[in-house]
Amino acid sequence: MGGPMSEALLAVNDLKMHFPVKSGLFSRTKAFNLAVDGVSFSIKPGETVGLVGESGCGKSTLGRCITRLYAPTKGNILFKGVDLAPMTHKQLLPFRQNIQMIFQDPMESLNARHTVGEILEEPFLVHGIGNRQSRHQSVTRLLDIVGLPSRSASRYPFEFSGGQRQRIGIARAIALNPELIICDEPVSALDVSIQSQILNLLMDLQKEFNLAYLFIAHDLAVVKHISDRVLIMYLGQIVESAPSEMLYRNPLHPYTQSLISAIPVPDPHRKTRRIVLRGDVPSPIAPPSGCRFHTRCPIAEARCSLTSPDLLGKQPQHEARCLLLEGST
């Protein structure tokens, strides 16, 4: 998938993040939450990989493992061939410049007691870059790049609207010229008319600075629009991976098919034949046996509850994790 390792900017290999679930008098670990359970994929320089799934599928945890906000249980996170997974905080510091993150709610991710200028100056201070004057120039330049007036520097986050705050979050993320940005639901809290402004900004910045994005979201239409390739995640595993156009035209996995059919289409003439899934997403603490999707799958057979399917290539660049597709091409 995605070509040989050498050209990948990021290559994630069999990544697992199992959170201990503690309970009882002595807080003994009783079980593990298999939030991310054996995920592999890669991102090329300048590429956008979309990551889609419902609440609790592990998509945000995966993003936080890659930025090493979490220490993964197992697996490799190769950034330009160097494994970040086992590194200590000190060892990680030089890499932090290269991998940045944009969060869903900029109000929670921006320090409310700092001015926008201070927020944008901080990355330079942390990494000891430039002097006072050059840092101030950088802040002005960053504000300009994301379309905010330079006088914003002396104001506080609460003085801005949601869309403007997200622009500040983006300015902070690009401050140190990163090569990869993890975008965790960057537009889901925004109004429709503001959402398209932010998506355009992200696409423009990508062209200008050759940024690679891991774009995490639950809205398949948004992800499909902005991504070169899309990964569909269900209960800690990737169930399908394909170039975005192919995923939409020819979804292979029954979960992907139902996700696409579930999106309400803004066209009153279209009478959708909707695949409505039964029930809720099971708990990642005790995922179903065999194929994790079999409890909700409209076409599951008896064997689906017994055997775990592998993520296999069905067509060039198109992989899916489904027993019923195995053997077919």
Partner 1 sequence: MSLLSVQNLVTEFTTDEGVVRAVDGVSFDLPPGGTLGIVGESGCGKSVTALSIMGLLPQPNGRITSGAVVYQGEDITQVDDARRQAIRGAEISMVFQEPMTALNPVHTIGRQLTEAVALHTQQTAQEQIATATEMLARVGIPEPGIRMTEYPHQLSGGMRQRVVIAIALICQPKLVIADEPTTALDVTIQAQILELIRSLQQDTGMAMVMITHDLGVIAETCEQVVVMYAGQVVEQGTVFEIFDSPKHPYTKGLLASIPRMDSAPKSTLEIIPGMVPSLHELPRACRFANRCHYVEARCEAEPPEVESLTASHKVRCLKWAAL
Q: How far is 285 from 305, CA to CA, in rounded Å? A: 17
Q: Site for partner 1 (CB under 8 A): which residue of 161, 177, 289, 308?
A: 161
Q: Site for partner 1 (CB under 8 A): which residue of 4, 24, 128, 266?
A: 266
Q: Which of helix, strand or coil describes residue 167?
A: helix
CA 215 to chain centre: 4
One-letter amino acid for residue 5 of the chain: M
Q: Site for partner 1 (CB under 8 A): which residue of 224, 288, 317, 325?
A: 224
Residue nearer to partner 1 on the CB measure, 99 or 281: 281
Q: Site for partner 1 (CB under 8 A): which residue of 75, 123, 163, 309?
A: 163
Residue nearer to partner 1 on the CB measure, 25 or 276: 276
Q: Closest distance between partner 1 and the C-beta of residue 267, in Å? A: 6
Q: Site for partner 1 (CB under 8 A): which residue of 13, 98, 115, 261?
A: 261
- Binding of partner 1 at residue 107 (CB under 8 A)? no
Phi, psi for residue 194 in degrees, rounded to 5: -85, -35
- Binding of partner 1 at residue 112 (CB under 8 A)? no
CB contact at 8 A, 103 and 183: no
**Span near partner 1 by CB under 8 A; candidates 38-46, 108-116, 187-195, 310-318:** 187-195
Query: Mind giving me the DSSP string for 206-273?
Result: HHHHT-EEEEEES-HHHHHHH-SEEEEEETTEEEEEEEHHHHHHS--SHHHHHHHHHSPPS-TT----
Residue 117 CB contacts under 8 Å (≥ 6 apart), including other chains: 136, 139, 153, 154
- Binding of partner 1 at residue 40 (CB under 8 A)? no
- Binding of partner 1 at residue 1 (CB under 8 A)? no
Q: How far is 74 from 57, CA to CA, in rounded Å? A: 18
CB contact at 8 A, 63 and 28: no
- Binding of partner 1 at residue 199 (CB under 8 A)? yes
Count, residues near partner 1 per rule CB under 8 A: 49
Q: Please give the residue ranges that form the binding site for partner 1 (CB under 8 A).
A: 48, 54-55, 161-164, 191-197, 199-200, 203, 218-222, 224-228, 244-245, 248, 258-270, 272, 274, 276-277, 280-281
